[in-house]
Amino acid sequence: IQPSVQEALMEGRPVVALESTIITHGMAYPQNLSMAREVEEIVTTNGAVPATVGILRGRIHVGLTDKELEFLASSKNVVKVSRRDLPFVLSQGLSGGTTVSGTMIAAHKAGIPVFVTGGIGGVHRGGENTLDVSADLTELGRTPVAVVSAGVKSILDIGRTLEYLETQGVCVAAFGESREFPAFFSRQSGFQAPYHVRDEEEAAGLIASALGLGLSSGVLIAVPCPQERAASVQVIEEAIQQALSEARSKGITGKELTPFMLQKINELTDGKSLDSNLALIQNNARVGSCIAVALSKLQKAKRKGNLPRQEDTTPPQPVVIGGINVDFIAKAQNTVILGGGQTNAGRVRRTFGGVGRNLADCLSRLGQTPLFLSAMGKDEHSESILHYCHHMDMSAVLQLEGKSTATYCAVITSAGELSIGLGDMDIHHQITEQYVSQFKENLCQAPLVCIDGNVPLSTIQYVCQLAREHQLAVCYEPTDDNKASKPFLSDSWKALTYISPNLQELRAINRTLGNPLPAGTEFSE
């Protein structure tokens, strides 16, 4: 992922994915290069970050440099890469342009919800006999990305394509004032879209709803070509029939058919179809970017718990303050762990933990969307954490250059008991009173504040003081017996509503308070 794209995704800014088959197979050089640059410029101008997807020497790239764009635009022997082609192209170290299907896969894996293209593939004319159905349609049925396009390429069977999309469970909406489903070069296809959205905000609301439901299927937003540069339906249809006839006589089928048809139609219409093609791509880039911006605003508002028009009914968020750890858990295979520098057989796995993170995760899965206050480094672990915690509101978490994300290594016996734990958790000292106090308003309104023992003592005391003043419910998770006693070193503990110690932690708290151990608990585990 190109750094500018990665940075935008991590900061929650709008990003628009763009395909590259149009560069490698849709237009000739150098027109394809100037078109690609222009589309990226339109995306930027309209407030989003462009992320052109392509395959370069066996690696998927999300976001291309100008040099990489030029390489794809000028290369002769590049592959047209759909879902089925990805394993072979990557394993052979080849380069290629990604189709709608290929781009959707990369966009989804990178966390980009909006993708702009010219037109999607579909059911080819005569597809009821040949079964020539584009993988774009099945991809829309199984990958949750919103595709903004000028409908379906006119060379296809639009009616059967819409039927197939319905079977795949894809929500299709025309964009603008009409429900007329556009036909790529032309504004009319003779078919109605199932739904229509009038503007960017309505489209963003539709996409947010689809993503929120977790349906695992995409959305198709069909945008008509601008009126002044749209081609005549009759002129295009005559050219299509002639091009189809020539394709049949030459035996052109499969993934070679669409590039051949588009090139032939351009010749037969004296460049009119190419002009319409350029116009609709530029228009889609503008509309798609505006949708991405609107969607980003909607998602940010939702994360902050203040959706427009719902301010009065949105309950305040719980607040969780605590650690994020990358945990490496090593479980011994044999009953006895051998010392003396010997290697013990076992299983080692990486998980994402940290008591605060675990609490915030659980609350998020229960639909509570807590505000999570924590700190991590800007390193190889932080990207994995953000990807894993995509369902959580991570917007307030500190990401610090030059600091290491907290890591913890636990060696546990075959019976599941902790044998030894090693932690590199210095970054938790950055969860300071000064940082947490920026969210005082959220804390004072929170129905529940959770805080773990990783947090510095001064921060715990600050939160407990606020809790006293504003009668807040505070849950303290002691974390381990060395950290359990922090609130009990002063009167802070009197502000706690809940605490969840294990027996060792409870013993440590009891010792700190100077109380004798109850009989029978001295040695029990």
Maximum Cα–Cα distance across the chain:
96
Indicate whether 351 belongs to any domain.
no
Q: Report the alpha-carbon distance of residue 103 to residue 174 in Å, rounded.
A: 22
| Same-domain check for residues 162 and 239 | yes
Both tokens of residue 237? 């249809």
Instruction: Look up 153 and say whether it is catalytic.
Output: yes
| Same-domain check for residues 165 and 286 | yes
Q: Report the alpha-carbon distance of residue 485 to residue 502 in Å, rounded.
A: 13
Whole-structure pTM over 0.75, yes or no?
A: no
For 82-102, give the secondary structure using H, E and C.
Answer: CHHHHHHHHHCCCCEEECHHH
Both tokens of residue 516? 């004798």
Residue of 19, 139, 180, 477 with catalytic role: 19
| Same-domain check for residues 268 and 201 | yes
Residue-level pLDDT at 161: 95
| Same-domain check for residues 274 and 398 | no
Of 367, 278, 361, the closest CA to residue 320 belongs to: 361
| Same-domain check for residues 272 and 391 | no
Q: Report the alpha-carbon distance of residue 14 to residue 295 in Å, rounded.
A: 8
Q: Which of 287, 304, 321 is the last residue of a domain?
A: 304
C-alpha distance from residue 100 to each of 112, 378, 417 (Å) = 14, 32, 50
Q: Which of 304, 339, 372 is the last residue of a domain?
A: 304
Q: What is the CATH number of the domain that holds 470?
A: 3.40.1190.20
Q: Report the alpha-carbon distance of residue 416 to residue 399 in Å, rounded.
A: 33
- Residue 474's SS3 state is strand
Provide the terminal-to-terminal Cα distance of the chain, rounded to the nearest Å.
49
Q: List Cβ neighbours of 485 (8 Å cut-off, separation of 6 or more).
A: 478, 508, 509, 511, 512
β-bridge partners, 111: none
| Same-domain check for residues 268 and 380 | no
Domain encompassing residue 393: 356-403+426-513
Indicate whether 396 belongs to any domain.
yes
Mean pLDDT of 228-241: 84
Taking the mean position of all CA atoms in its chain, how far away is CA 103? 14
Residue-level pLDDT at 459: 95
Angle between helices 272-303 and 233-250 (to 10 degrees): 100
User: Is 240 in contact with 267 (CB distance < 8 Å)?
Assistant: no
Indicate whether 17 belongs to any domain.
yes
Q: Report the alpha-carbon distance of residue 149 to residue 184 in Å, rounded.
A: 8
Q: Report the alpha-carbon distance of residue 290 to residue 197 in Å, rounded.
A: 14
Task: Give the model's confidence band at 241: pLDDT under 50 very low, under 70 low, under 90 confident, else very high.
Answer: confident
Indicate whether 519 belongs to any domain.
no
Percentage with pLDDT > 90 across the chain: 65
Q: Report the alpha-carbon distance of residue 38 to residue 281 in Å, rounded.
A: 10
Residue of 40, 80, 139, 153 with catalytic role: 153
| Same-domain check for residues 99 and 204 | yes
| Same-domain check for residues 172 and 278 | yes
pLDDT, tens only, 157-187:
999 999 999 999 999 999 999 999 998 888 8
pLDDT, tens only, 349-395:
998 999 999 999 999 999 888 999 999 999 889 988 998 898 899 99
Instruction: Look up 300 and say whether it is catalytic.
Output: no
| Same-domain check for residues 263 and 394 | no
Q: What is the CATH number of the domain that holds 179?
A: 3.40.1790.10
Indicate whether 105 belongs to any domain.
yes
pLDDT, tens only, 58-108:
999 999 999 999 999 999 889 999 999 999 999 999 999 999 999 999 999
Indicate whether 469 belongs to any domain.
yes
Residue-level pLDDT at 69: 96
Indicate whether 51 belongs to any domain.
yes
Report the number of distinct structural domains present in the chain.
Answer: 2
Task: Give the model's confidence band at 307: pLDDT under 50 very low, under 70 low, under 90 confident, else very high.
Answer: very low
Indicate whether 349 belongs to any domain.
no
Both tokens of residue 434? 């000064």
Residue-level pLDDT at 521: 65
Average pLDDT, the chain: 90
| Same-domain check for residues 177 and 74 | yes
Of 468, 477, 466, 461, the closest CA to residue 442 belongs to: 466
Q: Report the alpha-carbon distance of residue 120 to residue 149 in Å, rounded.
A: 7
| Same-domain check for residues 184 and 67 | yes
